[in-house]
Chain A
């Protein structure tokens, strides 16, 4: 299965026989086939505003496809994204080899429509409503939702009733001269206290044993605290921290010069998380505390009582504790012991 790069995920559903790639999600064809192609997305956070940039890639065919993406808040703008931001991020964390360079050359009520924007061949609608309302809106607009959609929509709507529905008109894309593989970047500006990245929706419509693979890029003012902690082998839940470092000045300059990317600060922290998890286990989201308080929210991550799974263990594994004790006693390190015990609580969590 190809890797899918995706922070804000898409609930992907189909209307016809085309095969455009929608950001951050699986593409469920009318015959039940699921196609995944590589896309790139960034969730940047600066001055209390999340900048969500993703691309909808045209993969040929005709007809219409749709996707629904849960959002942490109401966007103040939905515009066409810059031209090279996503590609530049991939290059930053996956520098191509010189050889590659050469080779490459509502239930009873209805969902409220907050915004409607047309970007290239994409019709984007920002919606507000409960899970049932969003589901009915999607059904009324020709989206074919998979059987796990009712539960997944409630999972998100109970925490944030804002969704982005994107309808991709493959015929229009072909009419515009878009070639297979061409992407349409979309940039959403979302004021929010703390960003979060919906991961569970990546598993929408997948069987339990299917593997979900995705890359998540975060650009924050400081090193973020995350839940689940992708740096912990014990509790990562299929998430792996593959890049965590101060963003280079060159990267930030490059990003800032792209269209609509003036918000990129002078200094920032770049995080990349790779997801490799069975669909049955990916039943949570990625909570981010970019405030420096180090308290990623249980609610934002969708752990119990806000979701089906309990939060992963946050204490230090037993073997780490035993190792600390074995060193501490010979050294007479009562202070070290006390310190290990104090640190046993792991990352504090916020409800």
Chain B
């Protein structure tokens, strides 16, 4: 009787593991000493992900997520503040900002701070969409 119940629980667990979880997800990204933590993330396509961007530094930062062409544009951009688009966020010193995104297709995107010198200093992260 006891072993049958255990087998049932295992099956339930396996079934749960096989099911795609499309419920909204919340991810914290800390910014400390001008680096993203974590700098590697993986999310499922079609899932709404709320990114909580916590700037622990006394200087301003940005969190811009997109493909290579997107970042190339922003490397030479002149927009002082971001926020109108959910994938382009400015985070003032010691502030926290939330943004929610849903990614439609699998692939790899990068999140980068394009303030002068920050990308070269290592403010780069990678988001894998499965």
A contact set with B: CB distance below 8 Å: 32, 106-108, 131-136, 138-139, 145-151, 153-154, 205, 207
User: Given that A136-B93, A136-B94, A139-B93 are contacting pairs, would A150 and B117 also be in contact in the complex, using a CB cutoff of 8 Å?
Assistant: no
Is there contact, CB below 8 Å, between A147 and B93? no
A150 surroundings in chain B (CB, below 8 A)? 32-34, 57-59
The B95-130 residues at the A interface (CB cut-off 8 A) are: 113, 115-118, 120-121, 123
- The residue from A32, A131, A134, A147 contacting B34, defined by CB atoms under 8 A apart: A147
Is there contact, CB below 8 Å, between B116 and A32? yes
Is there contact, CB below 8 Å, between B121 and A147? yes
User: Given that A136-B93, A136-B94 are contacting pairs, would A207 and B120 also be in contact in the complex, using a CB cutoff of 8 Å?
Assistant: yes
Question: Quick one: which of A138, A148, A150, A151 has the most chain B CB within 10 A?
Answer: A150
12 contacts between A and B (CB under 8 A): A135-B57, A135-B93, A136-B94, A139-B58, A145-B59, A147-B115, A147-B123, A148-B33, A148-B121, A150-B58, A151-B34, A153-B58
In the A-B complex, the 5 residue pairs with the smallest Cβ-Cβ separation, listed nearest first, are: A135-B58, A147-B34, A147-B121, A150-B57, A151-B33
Counting CB contacts under 8 A, is B88 at the interface?
no
Counting CB contacts under 8 A, is B37 at the interface?
no
Residue of B nearest to A106 (CB): B58
Is there contact, CB below 8 Å, between A147 and B58? no
B115 surroundings in chain A (CB, below 8 A)? 147
Given A32-B117, A136-B94, 17 extra CB contacts under 8 A: A107-B58, A131-B58, A135-B57, A138-B58, A139-B93, A145-B58, A146-B121, A147-B34, A147-B59, A147-B113, A148-B33, A150-B32, A150-B33, A150-B34, A150-B57, A151-B33, A154-B33
- The residue from B58, B94, B113, B117 contacting A146, defined by CB atoms under 8 A apart: B117
Residue of B nearest to A30 (CB): B116
B32 surroundings in chain A (CB, below 8 A)? 150
Residue of A nearest to B59 (CB): A145
| A108→B113 CA distance, assembly (Å) | 24
A107 surroundings in chain B (CB, below 8 A)? 58, 94
| A154→B57 CA distance, assembly (Å) | 10
| A154→B33 CA distance, assembly (Å) | 9
Is there contact, CB below 8 Å, between B117 and A135? no
A135 surroundings in chain B (CB, below 8 A)? 57-59, 93
- The residue from B34, B93, B116 contacting A148, defined by CB atoms under 8 A apart: B34
Residue of A nearest to B58 (CB): A135
- The residue from B94, B116, B117, B118 contacting A132, defined by CB atoms under 8 A apart: B94
